[in-house]
Amino acid sequence: MKRQSLIVAATAVMVLYAFTAFAAAPPRINLGTGGSTGIYFSLGGVIAQKLREGGAADITVQSTGASNENVRLVNANEVPLAFSQNDVAYSAFNGIEPYKSKHENLTFVVSTHAEVIHAMARAGIGVTKLEDFKGRKMSLGARGSGNELNCRQIFPFFGLSSNYENLSPVFLPYGESADQFKDRQIDGFLFTFGFPHPVIMDITTIHDVAYLPIAGKQADDIIAKFPYFVKTEIPAKTYNRQEAPVQTLGVKAMIIAHKNTPEDLVYAFVKGLFDNLEGIQASHSQAKQISLKTALEGRTVPLHPGAAKYYKEKGLLK
């Protein structure tokens, strides 16, 4: 009888231990990012690594087609969290072209970094402004991406067709576009991403490029129609042979979540992000822009309650 009681007690202790260990396990999160050569993928990988090391969350990074695919995946609840440009999330949430229906399941989690438009051409071919791309072969990023959406938004202000009728568009990911640029198969590109970006660093290591500004009245008119754009610049010497700053426009990158993603999961993610921010910033240049001060900047969709809970604790919200 005594032996049986000991067995029962031991079993109870083991069950309690297993339950406690299970309860204490960090939440598992699938994070949609972007292509393997892009900043979303590399930044997502660093965030995942540091949150795992800190015990905040067990994150799996998923390579995707970036913003446009991510808003679809999150809206359909196929991934709980993902990166997106704030303008893409805004258009998707409100059902604005190119989206044919409202993606009303999207919510905001945190702003991460600024993404600026890099409009560039091969040096010496006579392209010094965006208007000069008429009739030229130009990469616009992957078809249906947030990058292509920016092209459609901006082109009409420079005499270029949003349907690409007066230029020769190429729809390639960043890495493949860089290869074609170096092989002189395309004349230039318009890409929206953080800086310094490895693709541009690779190109400018061996090639001279023309940096095309987006400024003046045209920039003002674009912002008047699309208020999520902001005036910014690519600082001088960001890239090889770039002696002067380049005036351009930018948007904000942010992380979004499905509105039904559990509150405690989103809370754990945001808390883990800021608890481990020092290590994340030490491992990725774009992460240096992440801060509590700017965490809510550029929000274009409703705030997720799990994120709101954390920001209220930190005094950012009442």
Q: Is the dihedral of CA 262, 268, 269, 274 positive or negative?
A: positive
Judge if 26-113+253-313 and 115-250 fold alike in CATH terms: yes
| Residue spans per domain, the chain | 26-113+253-313, 115-250
9, pLDDT greater than 50: no
Q: What is the 3-state secondary structure (H, E, C) of 223-251?
A: HHHCCCCEEEEECCCCCCCCCCCEEEEEE
Residue 8 scores a pLDDT above 80? no
Q: Give the least confident one: 23-27, 149-153, 157-161, 255-259.
A: 23-27
pLDDT at 4: 54
Question: Does position 30 have pLDDT exceeding 50, yes or no?
Answer: yes
Q: What integer pLDDT is reported at residue 203 of this predicted model?
A: 92
The residue assigned the tokens 């970006």 is: 197
pLDDT band at 142 (very low <50, low <70, confident <90, very high): confident
Asked if 253 and 80 count as a contact pair (C-beta separation under 8 A), the reply is: no
Q: Tell which CATH architecture fits domain 26-113+253-313.
A: 3-Layer(aba) Sandwich (3.40)
pLDDT in tens, 99-141: 899 999 999 999 999 889 999 999 999 999 999 999 999 999 9
Please determine, for residue 15, whether its predicted confidence score (pLDDT) is greater than 70. Answer: no
What's the whole-number average pLDDT of the chain?
90
Tell me which of 53-57, 104-108, 225-229, 273-277 is least confident. 225-229
Which position has the higher pLDDT, 230 or 287? 287
Each residue's pLDDT tens digit, 238-247:
999 899 999 9
- The CATH fold assigned to 115-250 is D-Maltodextrin-Binding Protein; domain 2 (3.40.190)
